[in-house]
Chain A
Amino acid sequence: MVTSSSLIYLIALPLFGALTLLLAGRRADKWGHLLGTAMSASSFGVGLYQLSQMLSRPTEERAISQKLFTWIDVASFQVDAGLLLDQLSICFVLLITGVGTLIHIYSISYMSHDENRRRFFAYLNLFIAAMLLLVLGDSYLTLYVGWEGVGLASYLLIGFWNQKPAYATASKKAFVMNRVGDMGLSFAIMIAFATLGTVSFAGVKEASEGASETALTAIGIMLLVAAAGKSAQFPLQAWLGDAMAGPTPVSALIHAATMVTAGVYLIVRSNFIFDAAPTAQLIVVIVGAITLLFGAVIGTAKDDIKKALAASTMSQIGYMVLCAGLGPAGYAFAIMHLLTHGFFKAGMFLGAGSVMHGMNDSVDMRRYGGLRKFMPITFITFGLGYLAIIGVPPFAGFYSKDLIIETAFNAGGFKGILLGSITLLGAVITAFYMTRVMILTFTSPKRWEENQHPHESPFLMWFPMVVLSIGSVTSGLLFYRGDALANWLNPVFGDHGKDHHEEHLFEPIVVSAMALTAVAIGVGIAIMKYQLSEIEAVAPQNVSIFTRIARKDLLQDSFNESVFMRPGQALTRLLVKGDENVVDGAVRGIGRTALGAGATLRRSQSGFARSYAALILIGAVVLIAGIWVVTL
């Protein structure tokens, strides 16, 4: 493989920014945001340079690596810290640094009134560096470092306004639930090392060919646990809604475009494991399918614009996970949806931030309405993202979601029909709740107080939104034409990436028609329910039990509290008691016994040489007797 010494700059630049801003302290308040943005932009520049270099090389030489240092060298356990830039990671590098830079620019204005803006940019840079390490690491252990790094950055940014106890709690919740996933990743690494003897991607790939399916299934399931934690997939999804406590740019960057898709990256990167472990693959599909519907249903009931978008993110990642679980046929499409989603969802989050900016930080959509007139740019860019996510041609989401639905139907047999139907149902609900967001915010009659003065956001905020909306419009076609992205990614998935156009349950055109029908149904219901009827400014309370459950996030928190938290607390109390009585008791008991024995035995130390000599004599006699007895 081609080696390069410049990969480290991708990570080093934002890391340098983060350290400078954190160490310089208040002195950097005046220029901190500029340095942060510059570092992110330079990293993007290095990424573009690497892409141009990669394009100039023949297909088989496109992946490049850089060995940094020998990290661990203990007997048979050897890990080099190294970076790997291939066709898959370059996609992520450009997404992270590109969207990241736009969000840095947006934040300059969005956070301009916050006295801790410098610290905010430090954390953003830290996040970029960690996320790049995550996607550039050439082993599971290096990935793990980045994985923990983004978890830390996410925790710091969700709780950025931690003077509000609820926000601090939200960041803690996200951190704890992510730890569950992280345990999965560390178990996966341990199992991989124990059974395959290596933790590098290349090494595991090679070793997985001869490995037992049981081991690979165990690794796969543990990787899925990790992915579920980071990507807010069932059953570790509950933290994402609360994570909206962070400033909106954070929600756009970390909790929509990049970090939450790390789980999809992990599954796709580990394709060689999942391909050889069908059971694990099936569980991936099931988790994706459940989350897809779960998130969509929650999305229909949310009046908080950010939480509605968060539920939508959960649901869209469900699509990606489901698709990644369908094996070689789906990897490229999962990544394609991930990239298009990165554009339109980040754009919509920034739009939501722009709306909040104009509405005194209110997030209640029932208090919005009629904002189309006051915020035309926000309306148009958000609208383009909206058309993309519900899947209207020729916007980006149409191509990527269509391919996922098609792949799901092609999974074969009953499974294919079931999965296809679920993805279609998801499309209906997606169209419904996104239309609802559009209507409540922009097109319905105004429901805000007279003292509100909605206004368009400044240039620094709407410029990134415009750029992202261009991506929402064009990226789908760009990736789709001539299977551009699929062909590009093919070398990463080995030889079997291309054999998926054999059996069709439906012709592609039929699938597209069904998807469009689904979208039309969803949009139609939403228009009837919201555009054509009165919207109450306060959420009605006399609603069906299903609505109430949906509003309570399908009882995810109640479930976690009663199944994990309370028994966990009880177990902790029990263990503390056990520690005090049993362990400490035993320790104290040993201490007392030994003390007593010592006090008795020390009397043998009389100080008289004659007694000592006698003791030696007796000892010698006993020794001889002992040896004699043994010999007999």
Chain B
Amino acid sequence: MTFVNPVLNYAQLAPILIVLAGAVIGVLIEAFAPREARHSSQLFISTFALVAAFAALMTVRTQSSVDAAMGSVAFDGAAVLIQASILIISFLAIFLIADQENFTAMAAAVPGSEEERQSLQKDLRVTEVYPLTLFAVAGMLIFPIATDLITLFVALEILSLPLYLMAGLSRRRRLMSQESALKYFLLGAFSSAFFLFGVAYLYGYSGTITLIGIQESIVGGSGNDIFLLMGIAFLAVGLLFKVGAVPFHAWTPDVYQGAPTAITGFMAAATKIAAFGAILRIFYVGFANAEWQWKPALVAIAIITMVFGSVVAITQRDVKRMLAYSSIAHAGFLLAGVIALSKSGLDSSIFYLFAYGVATLGAFAVVTLVRDSAGEVTDLNRWSGLGKRSPLIASVFSLYLLTFAGIPLTSGFIGKFSIFSAAYESGSTAILITGVLASAIAAFFYIRVIVLMFFKDPVEDGTSVVIPSALTTIAIAVSATLTILLGVFPAPLLNFIETTAFFIR
């Protein structure tokens, strides 16, 4: 066997390479830079890497090819849109991460130990979170453009492993944070095994690992159908786990609650975009012709996910858990776009992902601000009357809740409307009906929080809204503005997506 010298299109791979380079530089800073200089230089490197990656992406935004990396990744309109969304969300997330109040002083210290006490006294910072974030972002950038199953798997692991670590970095309730990190890791490994198992079956079915090859085998119809359906099912388990679809959702509330809130926001927004980007490509490009096999099962999962997420969210007493269930419900709504299996399904999914990601990040950013002397207050009962003390922050949070609920004049309404229309056009009436009903149920608990904040008397227990740092303010302001803009003037972005989004085959 001769070694073939790989031909790479560096321009198209530049965004990924820049982010990875930033991550490597971050590791070097951790190893060699003096402690005091680390935080500011890390912040600079990460924001710079993300901006540079975005700029690099923009220079190649009109190109499309399947051989940027020897056929392992595809570069097309959908890829540009999804990568751009991930970079924008990550950029805002870095601003939240920069507020280190929520992170432990030393991740390696055993909770409650002398070492932890000392590290807190010395006011140390876990600056390693920056390179971890960048590694995760790099994985997220590869995941939605990968066109063979091995690259997909590698990307999945690149994005997941840093997230497992980051989930355990919370300053308060560290045991719970570490428990959630371990849970996430165990279950993630478990689901990765399913994914890999699915890859094996699909290779057994088609003799290839590329999406195009699988597609051709399905069209040719020569393979063993049992292998195909086992492959699709196992692959789906791994992917649906990542987006938190029922019944693969169980990790979501625990991890969302345990992880530092800034990380939760990043995870909820960016991971969802990357994972749905990959799901869309796999099902639109690889499995489109096996539609009649997977569609009914996916419809069932979407319906269960929407209903389960909405119903269980009602009984939550913790704002982060409530947002976790809300994110489960949204995974169900987004599956409607996958099921649509049409151009409008793709367009509306991309719009929905961006709008949802922006709002989610903003919502978690607000959560970081509500604190008492011991740190963040996530118990919803203690949020009552917040609107009377901090009307602006409470109003902004209400805006995010309204957009999650899909109330008109917010981006969430446009997203829900377009994704349900796409599902309806493709004949999924059941999705439409359940989706609207689930939205009605969901509106109940979102609006209950608004009522709680504005129409209940404040409780006098030291809960207050801290003055946000400049960076957090920017993140909240940008996401709130985008949420309103996309709700009132959605046409430019919708039109842009409509003309740009496509999958190269």
Using Cβ atoms and an 8 Å threshold, which residues of chain A touch B182? 609
Complex Cα distance, B467 from A465, in Å, reads 70
Q: Which of A598, A616, A627 contacts B187 (CB 8 A)?
A: A616
Known: A626-B300, A630-B296. A594 touches B314 (CB 8 A): yes
Using Cβ atoms and an 8 Å threshold, which residues of chain A touch B311? 594, 597-598, 601
Q: Which of B183, B186, B247 contacts A618 (CB 8 A)?
A: B247
User: Among residues 588 to 632 in chain A, which have CB atoms less than 8 Å away from a CB atom of chain B?
Assistant: 590-591, 594-595, 597-599, 601-602, 604-605, 607, 609, 611-613, 615-616, 618-620, 622-624, 626-628, 630-631
Chain B interface SS verdict (over half): helix
A616→B247 contact, CB < 8 A: yes
Complex Cα distance, B248 from A613, in Å, reads 9
Closest Cβ–Cβ distance, residue A241 to chain B (whole Å): 44
Taken residue by residue from 389 to 404, chain B's Cβ proximity to chain A (1 for < 8 Å, 0 otherwise) reads as: 0000000000000000
B254→A607 contact, CB < 8 A: yes
Known: A602-B312, A612-B183. A627 touches B190 (CB 8 A): no
How many pairs of A and B residues are in contact by the CB < 8 Å rule?
Answer: 92
A599→B315 contact, CB < 8 A: yes
Using Cβ atoms and an 8 Å threshold, which residues of chain A touch B234? 620, 624
Using Cβ atoms and an 8 Å threshold, which residues of chain B touch A602? 312, 315-316
Q: Which of A591, A611, A623, A628 contacts B250 (CB 8 A)?
A: A611
A624→B183 contact, CB < 8 A: no
Q: For A599, give the chain B residue with the smallest CB separation.
A: B315
Closest Cβ–Cβ distance, residue A520 to chain B (whole Å): 67
A616→B237 contact, CB < 8 A: yes
A627→B250 contact, CB < 8 A: no
Closest Cβ–Cβ distance, residue B288 to chain A (whole Å): 16
A624→B444 contact, CB < 8 A: no
Q: Which of A605, A624, A627 has the most CB of B within 10 A?
A: A627
Using Cβ atoms and an 8 Å threshold, which residues of chain B touch A631? 225, 229, 293
User: Total interface residues on A, using CB and 8 Å?
Assistant: 29
Q: Which of A591, A607, A613, A624 contacts B229 (CB 8 A)?
A: A624
Q: Which of B190, B246, B253, B254 contacts A613 (CB 8 A)?
A: B190
Complex Cα distance, B241 from A622, in Å, reads 15
B247→A615 contact, CB < 8 A: yes
Taken residue by residue from 320 to 344, chain B's Cβ proximity to chain A (1 for < 8 Å, 0 otherwise) reads as: 0000000000000000000000000
Q: For B232, give the chain A residue with the smallest CB separation.
A: A627
A624→B253 contact, CB < 8 A: no
A623→B237 contact, CB < 8 A: yes
Using Cβ atoms and an 8 Å threshold, which residues of chain B touch A594? 310-311, 314, 441, 444
B444→A630 contact, CB < 8 A: no
Taken residue by residue from 165 to 207, chain B's Cβ proximity to chain A (1 for < 8 Å, 0 otherwise) reads as: 0000000000000000011001100110010000000000000
Closest Cβ–Cβ distance, residue B318 to chain A (whole Å): 12
Q: B120 at interface (Cβ–Cβ under 8 A)? A: no
Complex Cα distance, B182 from A630, in Å, reads 37
B297→A630 contact, CB < 8 A: yes
B183→A609 contact, CB < 8 A: yes
Using Cβ atoms and an 8 Å threshold, which residues of chain B touch A597? 311
Complex Cα distance, B240 from A615, in Å, reads 13
Using Cβ atoms and an 8 Å threshold, which residues of chain B touch A605? 250, 253-254, 312
Taken residue by residue from 244 to 272, chain B's Cβ proximity to chain A (1 for < 8 Å, 0 otherwise) reads as: 00111011011000000000000000000
Complex Cα distance, B190 from A615, in Å, reads 12
B441→A616 contact, CB < 8 A: no
A612→B187 contact, CB < 8 A: yes
Which 3 A/B pairs are nearest by Cβ-Cβ distance? A619-B247, A612-B250, A598-B315
B-binding residues in A (CB < 8 A): 590-591, 594-595, 597-599, 601-602, 604-605, 607, 609, 611-613, 615-616, 618-620, 622-624, 626-628, 630-631
- 19 inter-chain pairs at a CB distance below 8 angstroms, sorted by A residue, are A591-B444, A595-B314, A599-B315, A604-B250, A605-B250, A609-B182, A609-B186, A616-B191, A616-B194, A616-B237, A620-B194, A620-B233, A620-B234, A620-B237, A623-B237, A624-B230, A628-B226, A630-B296, A630-B297
For the complex with contacts A605-B312, A612-B250, 5 further pairs of A-B residues with Cβ separation under 8 Å are A612-B183, A615-B250, A619-B247, A627-B293, A630-B296
